[in-house]
Amino acid sequence: MAVRKLIDRVYEVGAIDWHRQLFDDLIPLHEGTSYNSYLVIGTDKIALIDAVDPKFKDTLLENLVSLNVKNIDYIICNHAEQDHSGAIPYILNNYPNAKVVTNQKCKQLLMDLLLIPENKFIIIEDRQTLSLGNFTLEFIFFPWVHWPETFLTYLKEERILFTCDLFGSHVANSDLFAKDTLEIYNGAIRYFAEIMYPFRKNINANFNKITELPLNIIAPSHGPVYNKPEIILSLYKDWISEKLSNKVIIAYVSMHGSIEKISNFLIKELTESFIKVIPFNLTYVDIGYLATELIDTPTFILAAPAVLNGVHPYAIYASYLVNLLRPEIKYLGIIGSYGWGSKLIEQIQSIFTNIKPELLPNIMIKGYPKENDFEKLKEFVSLIKEKHKNLGIY
Ligand code: FEO
């Protein structure tokens, strides 16, 4: 693995996980990821900002050895999740003088998760500073990006903000700095949707803590580093704005073709009504893409058949996931297909406990859809058009 230089005396010493395919055993990764760890070499003290996933602890150590680092004074832990903290016990074993610098909440988590002894910690408060000699680190509490303990570390003299998960991307790339807007956008929006979107209100509430800082570089702990911070800041400003588009998501699963026929009809009617439609076949769905499309979608339609008097399990999974992500959806439509009775509408409705979208009239179709069913679907689309007009997005 390689050491990557940000500026004089500041290095990225973490690891690139080129082939990781799943994060948290849940989120598909298409481009691998990285666990960026930063070494800041002050004239008096040396700080390591975040560590790496424990699987890459040897890589981190090798990088430190390659820089001839004989002593580490501080390990700054911005976030206790193991993909950044997991190697800390190993680094403490190899650099026994080091102290873990973090806040009280993070300390407790690290003691619980990694069994780090209490005497290894230095506890910091919001806006506290730490001198490394020529460099000063300032700690800016920024909870819920992505756990309650998270904070950011600002290298004042060089105007570098180390943000850990915030502004990250699950992208493995040997280039340290992001090159252009498109490259930044593709990795960052998916990551935002999967990891940060449920916390958008927290990010919004604290965003001025970042925008008021003079910034040369934003250095997250996943994916590229931004030496044009205004690009990622502008993207985030848009994503956390909760602005809605004239869009409908249709998440569907079909066993014998009825639901597929309905979905295709809806796609045609919505398209011809000048409403953008994003269909997801739940049999093949990539949940990252679904999460990404939820960011600005006001209307979510779930269409599924009955199975054994209940609803198809894929519809349950999709509903549960959407409910977890707490999107801004304003309208929920449920369409079912059945043969002899089902409680699928009630089952799906009962999952949406975190969000309370207005329910559009349910449509239950017995067997294959018939002429009167298509009439109902046309009315359904007309209603969506009216609702979007009322939202001012049509
Ligand atoms: Fe990259 Fe919340 O850990």
- Decide: 388 in ligand 1 pocket, CB within 6 A: no
Domain 247-391 sits in CATH at 3.40.50.360
**Distance in Å, CA 351 to ligand 1 centroid:** 27
User: Which pLDDT score is estimated for 82?
Assistant: 97
Q: Does the Cβ of 82 fall within 6 Å of ligand 1? A: no
Per residue in 33-89, pLDDT (tens digit) is: 999 999 999 999 999 999 999 999 999 999 999 999 999 999 999 999 999 999 999
Contact call for residues 391 and 298 (beta carbons, < 8 A): yes
Q: How confident is the model over 159-200, as pLDDT tens digits?
A: 999 999 999 999 999 999 998 887 889 899 999 999 999 999
Does the beta carbon of 83 sit less than 6 angstroms from any atom of ligand 1?
yes
| pTM for this predicted structure | 0.94
Average pLDDT of span 4-14: 98
> Tens digits of per-residue pLDDT, 232-279?
999 999 999 999 999 999 999 999 999 999 999 999 999 999 999 999
Q: What is the pLDDT of residues 197-237, one digit of tens each?
A: 999 999 999 999 999 999 999 999 999 999 999 999 999 99
CA distance 301 to 304: 10
What is the 146 CA–ligand 1 centroid distance (Å)? 7
Tell me whether residue 96 is exposed, middle or buried, using C-beta atoms within 10 angstroms of its C-beta: 0 to 12, 13 to 18, 19 or more.
Answer: exposed
How far is it, in rounded angstroms, from Cα 59 to Cα 316? Answer: 41
Task: For ligand 1, say whether the CB of 84 is within 6 Å of any of its atoms.
Answer: yes
Residue with tokens 């994003």: 278
Equal CATH topology for 4-239 and 247-391: no
- For the CA of 82, the nearest atom of ligand 1: 3
Domain ranges of the chain: 4-239, 247-391
Residue 122, beta-bridge partner list: 101
CA 142 to centroid of ligand 1, rounded, Å? 14
What ranges make up the beta strands (E) of 104-213? 121-123, 129-131, 136-141, 151-155, 160-164
Nearest alpha carbon to residue 278 among 261, 254, 294 = 294
222 lines ligand 1 (CB under 6 A): yes
Residue 294 has pLDDT above 90, yes or no: yes
Q: Whose CA is nearest to atom 3 of ligand 1?
A: 81
pLDDT of residue 1 exceeding 90, the answer is: no
Given the CA of residue 222, which atom of ligand 1 is nearest to it? 1
Alpha-carbon gap, residue 136 to 133, rounded angstroms:
7
Supply the CATH classification number for the domain 4-239.
3.60.15.10
CA distances from 96 to 60, 74, 118 (A): 16, 11, 14
For residue 79 and ligand 1, the question of a CB distance below 6 A is answered with yes
CA 293 vs CA 64, 251, 281, 333: distances in Å: 41, 11, 14, 17
Query: In whole angstroms, what is the distance from residue 77 CA to residue 150 CA?
Result: 9
Task: Determine the Cα–Cα distance for residues 308 and 394; give it in Å rounded to an integer.
Answer: 40
Confidence band, pLDDT 50/70/90 cuts, at residue 341: confident
State the pLDDT confidence band at 367, using cuts at 50, 70 and 90.
very high
Q: Percent of the chain beyond pLDDT 90?
A: 91
Q: Can you tell me the mean pLDDT for 306-333?
A: 94
User: What is the per-residue pLDDT for 27?
Assistant: 84
Q: Which amino acid is at 386?
A: E
Residue 170 CB–ligand 1 contact under 6 Å: no
What is the residue with the minimal CA distance to atom 1 of ligand 1? 165
* Nearest to 82, CA basis, from 54, 56, 43, 58: 54
